[in-house]
Structure 1
């Protein structure tokens, strides 16, 4: 079985029910993820392009006269004009960079043909990255959203904040439309929803924040890219894409009924034409997403619900492979 090599797999979700206790147990793996040593690289498909850290995350301290070699971007033009001599702003660097976790729980994430649902893998990764950030003393915040609601938790230090995020994940997960029931208010289109969340993220993220955006990225478009581009000038962004193997390739097993909890599709997976069309559509979506991220210089990690989560995450982040149990 594909998962047998991962001794940590039992700590991750299986099935379709979110268990907060499972997310708490993932704290055992925090020591394996040294986020401060992370080498931010694009996925192998997008090329090994190293992204620079955006934004300084600094607090203003004082003004002083300009000295040769000072960063011209720190020039205080008002003081310079008032005094007649060049002055710069001096900043004091924050000891902890805020870590902000953005987690997508929309209907398109309510799907899985293997070990678990995309939503639950997203929740696992959110908890895992959160525990890693807390272990390193970083302030932790989150933006959690589904089709109709979002929860905005501003960065705070400590274990209590992580437990608040876990509880909020469970709350938002429980607000999903049950079964195939249609929600009382029609949700925004995938394109509009992800653009709105990128805009909201741009408004709340503090300069110097390290942001991990976990989603299937359905609906990613030029408008959302524009919001992330503005954000990328001041923050360090990492995209984590979650997909299911059935989204990439259909098995030749006859008629299949697929659902995400809101709509059902009947597909003849034995049809070669249907298989080719399905695979081609997925590959086109992947190419478009990779192009968005390349223009943003935003690292893209792609994880499947069939992958071993911890080794795949570590490889994508460029961190040392986990050793031991």
Structure 2
């Protein structure tokens, strides 16, 4: 695709733009990954376990006073001095938020409204602004089929702009004639990098169609969520749920393209079952990892879906 053609498609649906992503700050106001109640959080997991939050740091050891949490009694100091002592803690002011943003060739597809790659870019921007306004540091990893760009977490608008710029760079590198590279699953590679760098008490948002996810992906997600809060945002195209009754669709893989007449039963039924089945398989894998799952369609505006998904998962955890 020529530069002129790419610029002509910078409509926010085929390719995203940096001003488009930065402008989402205003629309992110009022959204949060946390609710007011400690147990009613989308990050509290399937069993309503308490959110790790931003972590606690030890403050002081002092005499027990009525009303103190008995779970904070220090047994060793109590035995040594013959009277109860408690440990007090303060909540850390911020924590790192890492956004893993998929811009592989599998994301370069859209049958309605926008491409999956653009929907992922918008989700990344909204998530970054939500974390920023919660007082957290924001960074991430933007990955294509053969490259991973790391952005270290900082709490600044300049860092969010750097993250969004990395997403835009990867987004604009996608084009229909670009072949997919034959290599190991890049999603699993990114999860391993994240596991090596995240440590503890991070918020990790994985924004992807999860193409190629398998047993290794499941294991890595479980390892990540053992010490961090993890959210999976699965981007999908509505054609996976319902094929059109008639007409033609173009299937693309690298430089190979083929048109299919979807009105034909020999095409529509097996193709529809394959696409819907693949979507269900990935969703089931993510649920098995016990990572909160949000599903976002390319066919509708992202902000409205995100608001609904946050509300749905918060009600489920409550």
Q: TM-score, normalised by structure 2?
A: 0.78
Q: 1:275 to 1:208 in 2, by over 3 A?
A: same
Alignment check: 8 A CA contact 1:109 1:260 kept: no
* Structure 2: distance between partners of 1:24 and 1:63: 42
1:114 equivalent to 2:112? Answer: yes
Query: Superposition pairs for residues 37-52 of structure 1, below 5 Å?
Result: 37=35, 39-41=40-42, 49=46, 51-52=48-49
Deviation at 1:195, TM superposition (A): 1.5
Structure 2 residue aligned with 1:97: 95
Partner SS, residue 283 of structure 1: helix
Q: 1:62 to 1:23 in 2, by over 3 A?
A: closer
Structure 1 residue aligned with 2:206: 213
Partner SS, residue 34 of structure 2: helix
* Structure 1: distance between partners of 2:129 and 2:290: 26
Query: Superposition pairs for residues 4-43 of structure 1, below 5 Å?
Result: 14-37=12-35, 39-41=40-42
Q: State the Cα deviation string for residues 251-290 of structure 1 (Å, max 9, x = none).
A: 1324432226554233221112321212212232233223
Deviation at 1:58, TM superposition (A): 3.9
Structure 2 residue aligned with 1:180: 177
User: Structure 1: 5+ residue runs without aligned partners?
Assistant: 1-11, 43-47, 77-87, 321-325
Deviation at 1:316, TM superposition (A): 0.7
Deviation at 1:188, TM superposition (A): 2.1
Deviation at 1:120, TM superposition (A): 0.5
User: Structure 2: 5+ residue runs without aligned partners?
Assistant: 1-9, 77-85, 314-318
Structure 2 residue aligned with 1:84: none
Q: 1:148 to 1:75 in 2, by over 3 A?
A: farther
Q: TM-score, normalised by structure 1?
A: 0.77
1:160 equivalent to 2:158? Answer: yes
* Structure 2: distance between partners of 1:115 and 1:14: 10
Number of equivalent positions: 289
**RMSD, aligned CA:** 3.4
Q: State the Cα deviation string for residues 46-96 of structure 1 (Å, max 9, x = none).
A: xx946535656547648979x995479x999xxxxxxxxxxx998653111
Alignment check: 8 A CA contact 2:141 2:150 kept: yes
Which of the residues 236, 239, 264 maps onto 2:229?
A: 236
1:273 equivalent to 2:238? Answer: no
Structure 2 residue aligned with 1:294: 287
* Structure 2: distance between partners of 1:54 and 1:164: 29
Q: 1:75 to 1:240 in 2, by over 3 A?
A: farther
Alignment check: 8 A CA contact 2:118 2:171 kept: no
Partner SS, residue 204 of structure 2: strand
* Structure 2: distance between partners of 1:158 and 1:54: 25
* Structure 2: distance between partners of 1:145 and 1:117: 16
